[in-house]
Amino acid sequence: MSKRVDPGLLNELKQFGDVPIEACFNCGNCTAVCPLSTDETPFPRNNIRRIQVGLKEDILHSPDPWLCYYCGDCSATCPREAEPAEAQMTLRRWLTAQYDWTGLGRLFYTSPAWEVISVLITAVLVVLAFIVFHGPMVTGQVELNTFAPVDMIHLLDWVMAGLLSFFLLTNVARMHHFIIRKGTDAQVPLVLYITEAWQLAYNFVTQERFSKCDEKRPWINHLILVSGYVTMLVLILFLLPWFQTDNIYPFWHPQRWVGYYATIALIYGAGAALWGRFKKIRQMHRFSHLSDWLFPILLLIGAVTGILVHLFRYLGLPLATYTIYVIHLSMMVPMLVIEVPFGKWAHLAYRPLAIYFQRVKELAVEQQARKERLASSGA
């Protein structure tokens, strides 16, 4: 079957990241040193070749760029300094934009101004909503649930979660279409999706592939960050009336410790990511796109303002509590609205999905080959 070649692919990718891969002379060293590459998925060299030749559809139909965890070994040993690790990162940004049907992913990744303006506009809208709709401001004591009734905030959380899930899931449907429907001729039976579904949950929680990189610290940091994020999400979506309360609980109360854990994990994880990028500690930190900064910055501000709300409430400072609460939400809402379906956060969903799709695709191909062998031996 003939393949369509897009000579403009490299230039298109350069809008998404710094990819000097014209320098690559295809020695294969990067794939040889990659701890995650296999005979079936010989990245990063295969992807670099695809970019050089312009095989856009091959990249779109492949999960390979998501199987790389950016340890940087390939870039560190590339004799031509073609930055194969950064090329995989760039492909992941490009793929995020390809999966996103709204076009916002492309806009945010290719225009730093639009990404920053969108965050600022969303933050201002949150502040304006509070100015117009906030409840009575009790100043004699802290009454956060009078200023921002918890039932109303909880309802808005669910409305936002529903909208974001809609955008994310429709993008996931497109990812499935590209990788499974277009990426293989084999029919994938429904039962395979069901029996392999555990892969999705397991890889989302553990990011096990990341642990196979030689250096374990980035995986541990990432794990801590994700655990804080997921804990905070559970608190906000399912336990908000228990979490946002005007009651002052004693120090040993689980409400305090769950909140402390989530906040400390977020501050540590986001802080480590930002410090690494600032100091360019590892190979993976040498190139930083705006989205690599913006997501952890919003997370960090969200976590710090969250702990300040808690502190001011315990110190009995009503106006400071209400003000910092509004600032807290004005950071958390854009972090979710901009980054979950269209930006950096999406990789948390796409990586385990890519592993899952890859697995069901491989099993479906094996099953089909077995059936064909049986049919031909019976003929």
Interaction site with ligand SF4 (CB under 6 A): 24-30, 34, 36-37, 43-45, 48, 68-74, 78-80, 82, 84-85, 88
Of the two residues 26 and 102, which places its CB atom closer to ligand SF4 in the complex?
26
Angle of CA points 199, 204, 205, to nearest 5°: 105
**Pick from 253, 198, 196: nearest CA to 367:** 196
The 3-state DSSP class for residue 223 equals helix
H helices of 136-216, in order, are 144-147, 150-176, 190-195, 197-206, 208-211
CB of 46 or CB of 118, closer to ligand SF4: 46
The answer to whether the CB of 336 falls within 8 A of the CB of 164 is yes
- Which residues make Cβ contacts (< 8 Å) with residue 377, sequence separation at least 6? none
Nearer to ligand SF4, 25 or 251 (CB): 25
CB of 73 to ligand SF4, least distance (A): 4
Minimum CB distance to ligand SF4, residue 101 (Å): 28
Closer residue to ligand SF4 (CB): 32 or 137: 32
Least distance in angstroms from the C-beta of 118 to ligand SF4: 29
Task: Check if the beta carbon of residue 59 is closer than 8 Å to that of residue 50.
Answer: yes
User: CA–CA separation, 112 vs 195, rounded Å?
Assistant: 42
Closer to ligand SF4 by CB, 54 or 318: give it.
Answer: 54
> Minimal distance in Å, beta carbon 67 to ligand SF4?
8
Instruction: Give the angle subtended at the CA of 84 by the CAs of 81 and 85, to the nearest 5°.
Output: 115
Contact call for residues 72 and 58 (beta carbons, < 8 A): no
Nearer to ligand SF4, 79 or 241 (CB): 79
* Rounded CA separation 239/232 (Å): 10
**C-alpha separations of 54 from 17, 59, 163 in Å:** 17, 9, 35
Shortest CB 47 distance to ligand SF4, Å: 8
How far does the chain reach from its first CA to its final CA, in angstroms? Answer: 27
Query: Minimum CB separation from ligand SF4 for residue 30, in Å?
Result: 3
Q: Give 27 or 319: the residue with its C-beta nearer to ligand SF4.
A: 27
**Minimum CB–partner distance for residue 102 and ligand SF4 (Å):** 28
